[in-house]
């Protein structure tokens, strides 16, 4: 369903050149879920946005459902691939009600039946009539994220991209959203590409996991392999250890500017 080949993204030039992503390639069969883990600056979010078509100057090929998509996506292609962002407050317009947020994509693509589509989307993510006319600041973090998911699904995409969808949420809410995502993936046969810094969250949703560092895809592994510590790259091992809670003995405490 998704094929990336040699995707690279650079920003700036000369001394301020930043290679956000270097020659990243992978494939995701239809219906599968792939996770990208890494720390900040690893390039995982950049790759996600390149797949989403939000980076006009990305290099390399992105093929979705057999069609190679150019960097500047035609409007039609937007229906196939949608994204849920990290910050549930930042991804919703603060002055628009839930109703307005969900109506926008329907209006843009001139789909009919706005009323039934909106109610169906709300029900699907576990929200109700009473949430429909609220503003984002009147919703909890979990509810906002549900609205973001509803918005992504309202165009009935085949691919769902997820940028740290639960990082900004409380633990109890995170469980709800993860369950929701699992259910939606099953019900709609979605192909997912998820990005996170939290190994446990990624391993919960995704079958295969790619470890990224400094823009490069270091290794591709599975959730089981990661759990058993069967990772080859030393950086992956470091990441694994750091995810396991505080351990004073394992820390190199000195740092230079």
Partner 1 sequence: MSDDRLLTIRNLRVVYPGDDGDFRAVRNVSFSLGRERLGIVGESGSGKSTTGRAIMGLIPYPGRVEADVMRLGDIDLTRLDERGFRRLRGKRIAMVLQDPKYSLDPVMPVGKQIAETHRYHFGSSKQAARTAALEMLQAVHIRDPERVYHQYAHQVSGGMGQRIMIAMMLIAGPDILIADEPTSALDVSVQQQVLAVMDEMVKSRGMGLILISHNLHLVSSFCDRVLVMYAGQIVEVCDAGRLHEAQHPYTKGLLTALPELGHRRAVLPQLRRDPEWLVDLPAAVGAAS
Partner 2 sequence: MSATGLRVGAPTGWRGWLLDPAPASRRQARFGRWYRAWLGLRRNRLAMTGLVIVLALVLIAICAPLLANHAAAFTQTLEDRLQPMSWAHPFGTDELGRDIYSRVIFGSRITLTIVALVSIIVVPVGLGIGLPAGYFGGWIDAVLMRITDIFLAFPRLVLALAFAAALGPGIENAVIAISLTAWPPYARLARAETLTRRNAEFIEAAELQGASHLRILFTQIMPLSLPSVIIRLTLDMAGIILTAAGLGFLGLGAQPPAPEWGAMVSAGRQYLLDQWWVATIPGMAIFIVSLGFNLLGDGLRDASDSRAG
d(CA 54, CA 45): 11
| Residue 175 contact, options partner 2, partner 1, none, Cβ 5-8 Å cut-off depending on partner type | partner 1
d(CA 103, CA 118): 7
Q: Which is nearer to partner 2, 8 or 82 (CB)?
A: 82
- Radius of gyration from C-alpha coordinates of the chain: 19
* Choices 19-27, 45-53, 96-104, 195-203 (CB under 8 A): range interacting with partner 1: 195-203
| Residue 13 contact, options partner 1, partner 2, none, Cβ 5-8 Å cut-off depending on partner type | none
State how far the alpha carbon of 193 is from the alpha carbons of 11, 84, 111, 164, 190, in Å. Answer: 23, 11, 26, 11, 10
Which 148-167 residues touch partner 2, going by CB under 8 A? 148, 151, 155
SS3 category, 50: helix
The single residue among 182, 214, 216, 220 that binds partner 1, judged by CB under 8 A, is 182
d(CA 85, CA 54): 13
Phi and psi at 227, nearest 5°, equal -65, -35
Q: Under the criterion CB under 8 A, does residue 128 sit at the interface with partner 1?
A: no
Q: Which is nearer to partner 1, 173 or 184 (CB)?
A: 173
* Choices 19-27, 28-36, 127-135, 234-242 (CB under 8 A): range interacting with partner 2: 127-135
**Would you say 149 and 184 are in contact if contact means Cβ atoms under 8 Å apart?**
yes
The single residue among 25, 68, 109, 241 that binds partner 2, judged by CB under 8 A, is 109
Q: Under the criterion CB under 8 A, does residue 33 sit at the interface with partner 1?
A: no
**How many residues bind partner 2, per CB under 8 A?**
39
Q: Under the criterion CB under 8 A, does residue 82 sit at the interface with partner 2?
A: yes
As to burial, measured by CB atoms within 10 angstroms (0-12 exposed, 13-18 middle, 19+ buried), residue 33 is buried
Q: Under the criterion CB under 8 A, does residue 52 sit at the interface with partner 1?
A: no
Q: How far is the CB of 253 from partner 1 (least distance, A)?
A: 5
CB atoms closer than 10 angstroms to residue 251: 10
d(CA 65, CA 76): 14
Which 212-251 residues touch partner 1, going by CB under 8 A? 223-224, 226-228, 238-239, 242-243, 245-248, 250-251
DSSP 250: G
Phi and psi at 2, nearest 5°, equal -115, 130
H/E element, 153: helix 141-153
Which residues are at the interface with partner 1 (CB under 8 A)?
39-40, 141, 170-176, 178-179, 182, 197, 199-201, 203-204, 223-224, 226-228, 238-239, 242-243, 245-248, 250-257
Which residues are at the interface with partner 2 (CB under 8 A)?
49, 52-54, 73, 75-76, 78-79, 82-83, 85-87, 90-97, 99, 104-105, 108-109, 129-131, 133-138, 148, 151, 155
């Amino acid at each position: 369903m998704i094929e990336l080949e040699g995707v690279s993204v650079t920003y700036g030039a000369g001394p301020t050149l930043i290679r956000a992503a270097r020659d990243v390639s992978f494939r995701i069969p239809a219906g599968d879920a792939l996770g990208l883990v890494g720390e900040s600056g690893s390039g995982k979010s950049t790759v996600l946005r390149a797949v989403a078509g939000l980076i006009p100057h990305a290099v390399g090929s992105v093929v979705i459902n057999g069609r190679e998509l150019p960097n500047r996506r035609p409007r039609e292609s937007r229906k196939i691939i949608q994204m849920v962002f990290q910050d549930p407050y930042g991804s919703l317009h603060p002055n628009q009600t839930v109703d307005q947020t969900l109506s926008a994509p329907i209006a843009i693509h001139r789909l009919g039946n706005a009323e039934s589509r909106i109610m169906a989307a709300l029900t699907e993510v576990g929200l109700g009539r009473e949430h429909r006319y609220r503003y984002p600041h009147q919703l909890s973090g979990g509810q906002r994220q549900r609205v973001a998911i509803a918005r992504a699904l309202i165009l009935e995409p085949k691919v769902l991209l997820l940028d740290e969808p639960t990082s900004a949420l409380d633990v109890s809410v995170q469980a709800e959203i993860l369950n929701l995502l699992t259910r939606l993936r099953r019900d709609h046969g979605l192909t997912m590409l998820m990005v996170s810094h939290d190994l446990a969250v990624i391993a919960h949703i995704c079958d295969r996991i790619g470890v990224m560092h400094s823009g490069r895809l270091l290794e591709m592994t599975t959730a089981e392999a990661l759990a058993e510590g069967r990772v080859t790259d030393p950086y992956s091992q470091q990441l694994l250890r750091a995810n396991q809670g505080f351990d004073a003995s394992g820390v190199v405490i000195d740092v230079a500017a």
